[in-house]
Every structure is written in structure tokens, then in C-alpha cells.
Amino acid sequence: MSSALKMALEKIEATHDADTSGYMEGVSRLLTDITKALLTHKPESPEEFVRDMMKRRIKNSGGNSHEGEKASSIEIVHFNDVYNIEGRSQSPQGGAARFVSKVKEIYEEVESASGTQPLVLFSGDAFNPSLMSTITKGKQMVPVLNSSKIDVACMGNHDFDFGIENLISLTRNCEFPWLISNVVYKPTGRPLAEGKTSFVKVIGGRRIGFVGLVEKEWMATLSTIDEEDIIYEDFVSCAKRLSKVLRDHDECDAVIALTHMRVPNDAKLAEEAGECIDLICAGHDHHYDVKPVGKHGIYVLKSGTDFRDMTRVKMEFGDNGSVKVAGTERVVIDESVPEDEEIKEVVSQYLGVLGAEMEKKIGHTNVELEGRFSKVRTQETNLGNFVTDIMRRGTSSDIALLNSGTLRADSIIPAGDLLMKDMVAILPMVDELCVLEMSGDQLIEALENGVSQYPRLEGRFPQISGVSFVYDAALEPMSRVVRSSVQVHGSPITSSQLFSVCVKAYLAKGKDGYDVFAKCKVLIDEENAPVLPALVRNTFTELSVLNGFKHTPSKMRKGSVLKSAKKWRSKTFHATPVKGRGGSGGGGEGGGEERKVDSPGPLPAPASPEGGGGVGKTGGGLSFGISPQMESRIVCLNPASIDF
């Protein structure tokens, strides 16, 4: 029976076992099954032995249906893109403890009603970015995901943020398989990060096949992986190929695609592979949207983000082999959901790791900072202006360009005191900068790439400083920028004119579609340029130093940080009283005395990360805050209607 054993082992390795979390457990159970099988019957051939044994093992997993019975329907729970295990203050609160509690509640409900378990599916992005992950590299997510009873997951782009080896270490500790079906890692010849190509799960007697599909667009953004080291297969071709294998060879009743792609690519998959895919459980986008798509009416699920939503799906099977989605339900994780005590303790322990440092006040903002993905990835924002102005000033560059995917808060930061955790939520990565030299033509090419994917919520959309331009969204990608509108410091540019441009070192490698950056001369490399989060923190340090004076010093030592801060502030501020939040850092009772600061008026170069920054008497001292504004740096003609 050595050939039969070899075949069975290969089967387990290919599927990561049909109902267990790991290879070794599968081998152990396999040996037990072999012993029992040999005692009860003598197979005619090794092939018959493996086929019958594997069917018996799989059939008895995922539910309590009797031998030979097949459920007429199954329940599915889907979620995607979760980053912060702690809940938030506004509703819906979300949070891992409430989320796990709701999953367990649904589990008990479905088991009680049907005798089978629901399928729990996850569509990628868990291990970064978040404040906590900058410390733990994603380890805090493992116990949370395991407690969520996930059956199978698809890898997402941010799961690779700390490198392949880190991801492999994390997924090995997960009690479920991770799929990435259409990307092979050349150095190993296996799926990227030791993921699985496909997976089969039996639930209620129904054999459900899974594939995990990703889009090429974000593969190009992975800073930890060289594009030359991967082999990418078109997701439609891969879906068709693997679906045939799962149906013909693995005798699956249905095939579900877990994807980590933007809406247009999920729609393309539904349209072009809908005859072989029964359901698309999608990630990458953070809005909630569940609907049938394409001529085949295949449901595409986008189930929100950050443990705030999940989707319940009822899938029905017809006697003729048909499969359909009979109903869906959005489940919102709000304050009405009790917290799971075990996960609540896990969250508490990891929050303790961060310590009191994150609660320290670092500055003050007089205005709300717009950090929602739906805004920073489609238009100019005051948060983007604030950060890019700091980049430009900190590197003495003509221009700064930041891919909006760098800004990770995905929320509006309220006016008032800014804490360290606010800034880390906005900039969770240790982003290195560099300064490039580029011509006018190269600058326009970079701007074209930045707006090429609009209105898709792509991280390549630019936030800029020192430059302004107009683009027409109705035109074809890479021909949208109105060349005559491009101005640097208020002046039109020429094709050959040279500029110093501060960008992330990540983009300088040609990532995120910015191929032109890789062709540019490097003026300051990442070894000699500042780190972006440090630049932002230093900005608030300068302001806090000034806040220590009862009046603005008229004379200061040349070269001092105070002189630098005062000069910078006087060039960019319109002063207004600071209004505190919760009684701290405010303008004092009565509003304080407003002090005007000389201003050159409207600047040809956008320069107001602190524009409107407040100056008001507070307990005998001065208080400087920030008030970044919108300045028509990016103007869109024929904008799309965006509902999320």
C-alpha cells in the first residue's frame, strides 16, 4: 500500500487537508484512517483505496449530516480587510471582541437549525497596517482570526508588508489555509508565501471548492517583493482552469472565488468567468456593497472593513446541479453586540504592549483632517496638503508627491488635540523618503499615472505640494492631465525644465505605476533623507517649542530650531485662536487674544500645512495649532459620481 499512502499524502499536501488546519494533523488522521480501512475491507487498487478513503474523511467534516445526505442549502459568513482589533468610539464600534462574539452566535444558530456549520470566509488584509502592527508585525491578529472560525482565507497586499518570511510565520500559526492561486514565487516554484492554490471543504455533505485570486495592479506595489521573482496568471484564466479541476477531479458542488481586487476586476471576473464561479467573496475595497454582477448574475460581496461588518449568505443547491444565492444579510457590529471575554482579554494584552506613549499629546489641529480613503484616493485633501508640505519643506525640494495609499487612517481626525496614536494611525509605516531630479515631461507623466485609475480608490492617487494641475476624468488614462494647467510655484512649466521632487523611496523604485521615477536621477537617497513620520513629528516639536514662550521672541540665535520654526511659521500662517477640545490646549476662557502674523497673502506655491494655525493666549502662553486647507492643487473636470 506504499503507492496508496504516497497518493494520499500528496492529496493532503495539495489541499492542506479538507477539514484541518495543518499538514501534520492531516497525516496523523490519515494513518488512523488507513488502519481502520485495512481492517474493514480489501481495496481492489491503491487508486480505489485513496479515492474512497478521502471521500469518507471529507464527507464527515464540516457538519453532522448523515452518510449520503446532501444539504439543500448552506450558510456563509464573509468579511475582509481588518486592521484594528480594538473597537472605536463612534458607531458602529466594531472591534475583534464583538466580531468574534457575533461569529460564535451565528455558528450556534446555524448548527442548531440545520445541524451543519456555516462557512466563514476571509478575503485578505489583516496583518498590517495599523498602529499595533507597527509594533507586533501582525502577531496580534492570529488569535483573533483563529477565534473567528475561518475556514479559508485569501492573501491580501498588506499581508506582505513585513516580508514573505513574516507572513509565512503568521499563516503557519493560523488554523485555516491561506490561498493565492494565481501567483507563483520563482525562487520556490510554489504559490507565493507558501499559500495554497485551491482548497476543498465539505459542509452539509456538499463539496465546496475555493480559489484565491489577486490582481496584478497591487502585486506591483509590494515593496518587499521583486516583480521579477513572481509569475502572475490572469485571474480570469486561473479561475476557469482551477474551477474545471475542482468540479471534474474533486467533484465539487460549487466553486467560490475569494478575491483581493478592486471592484472593476471583481466585475470582470463575474462577467467573464461567471459560468464557472458561483460566488465572489471580495476584499481590497473597504466599502460595503453586495449585489449580483454581470450577465450570469454572480453575487460579488464587499463586506466593509475593520470588524465593523460581515455578510451572511444563503447558498441553495438544485436537484439539477444548479447553485444560487438565495439571500444575503448585512450584519453590523455595533454596541448591541456583546464582547467575547477571551478576545477582549487578548485585545487588552496587546493594547498594553503599546503603552502610554501612544496617549501623549503631540500637537493641536484647529480643523478636521480629512483622511477617509474615499477622499484621499480621489481628490486633494487638507491632510494630504499638510503631509506633502512637510515633505517639501523638510527636504528643501521644489515639489513633493505622495501616493495617497500612505495615509492609512481611513477616518476624519477631529479638531482638537492630536495624540501620538492619531499620527501613527495616519502614518503607520516607517516610510523613507528620497529626492529625485525630473524634467517637466517626467513630472507630467507622474501626475498622469497618479490620476490614471480614478475613480477607483487606488493608492497611487497623488497628494501634492509645490505643484498644481487640472485633469479631465472623461479622457483616457495617461492622457488626462491638461498640460497647460501644470504650474510649479505658480508658474507654467516647460518640457525640459528640471525640478527636485521629494517622493517615498518605495515609489522611487517604480512602484505603484510610477515607472518614470525609476528613470530619474537621485539627488538625495533614502540613506540621507529623513523618514516621513519623523518629519511630521518634528513639525509638532517645533510648534511645541514655540508654545513655551509667553510672547514670540523678536531675536533668536541664528540656526536655532526656534528661529527656523518662527521663520517657517511667519511665511505660512494666518493666525487664529486655538480652540481646545476637552479643556486642553485651547484658547482659554473668553477665547484669548488673537495675534496676527505677517503673511505674504495667497502663495503661488501651496504652502500651508499650518495655514490658519492658531495663536491664542492660554494661561499666559501662546498656543500654535495647524489648520491645513484645500487650495485647488488638484482640479478634476468631469468628476465621477462616487457613492461611498
Assess whether 566 and 436 both reside in one domain: no
Would you state the pLDDT for residue 388?
98
Question: Does the residue 365 lie in any domain?
Answer: yes
Same domain, 604 and 565: yes
pTM for the predicted model, two decimal places: 0.68
For the segment 66-87, the average pLDDT, to the nearest whole number, is 90
For residue 606, cis peptide bond before it (omega within 30 degrees of 0) = no
- Residue 361 and residue 331 in one domain: no
Give the span between the Cα atoms of 29 and 35, in whole angstroms: 10
Residue 311 sits in the same domain as residue 412: no
3-state secondary structure of 34: helix
Kindly state whether residues 55 and 123 are assigned to the same domain: no
Residue 632 lies in a domain: no
CATH of the domain at 214: 3.60.21.10
Beta strand pairing call for 491-492 and 487-488: antiparallel
At 408-440, the pLDDT tens digits run 999 999 999 999 899 999 999 879 899 999 999
Confidence class of residue 250 from pLDDT cuts 50, 70 and 90? very high
Residue 496 falls inside a structural domain:
yes
Task: Give pLDDT tens digits for 11-37.
Answer: 455 444 444 334 454 555 556 555 545
The answer to whether position 196 is within a domain reads yes
**What's the Cα-to-Cα distance from 362 to each of 86, 410, 411, 595, rounded to whole Å?**
22, 20, 19, 22
Domain that holds residue 109: 68-348
Domain boundary among 500, 534, 568: 534
Residues 31 and 102 in one domain: no
pLDDT of 69 above 90: no
Last residue of a domain, which of 61, 86, 101?
Answer: 61
Cα-based distances in Å from 232 to 180, 218, 229, 319:
11, 12, 10, 38
Number of domains in the chain: 4
**pLDDT digit string, tens, across residues 291-342:** 999 999 999 999 999 999 999 999 999 999 999 999 999 999 999 999 999 9
* Cis preceding linkage at 600, omega within 30: no
Round the average pLDDT of the chain to a whole number and report it: 83
CB-CB neighbours of 637 under 10 Å: 13
In this structure, the answer to whether residues 155 and 170 fall within a common structural domain is yes
152 shares a domain with 6: no
Asked if 326 and 362 sit in the same domain, the reply is no
88 and 47, same structural domain? Answer: no
Q: What is the pLDDT of residues 619-628, one digit of tens each?
A: 444 567 899 9
Do 53 and 199 belong to one domain?
no
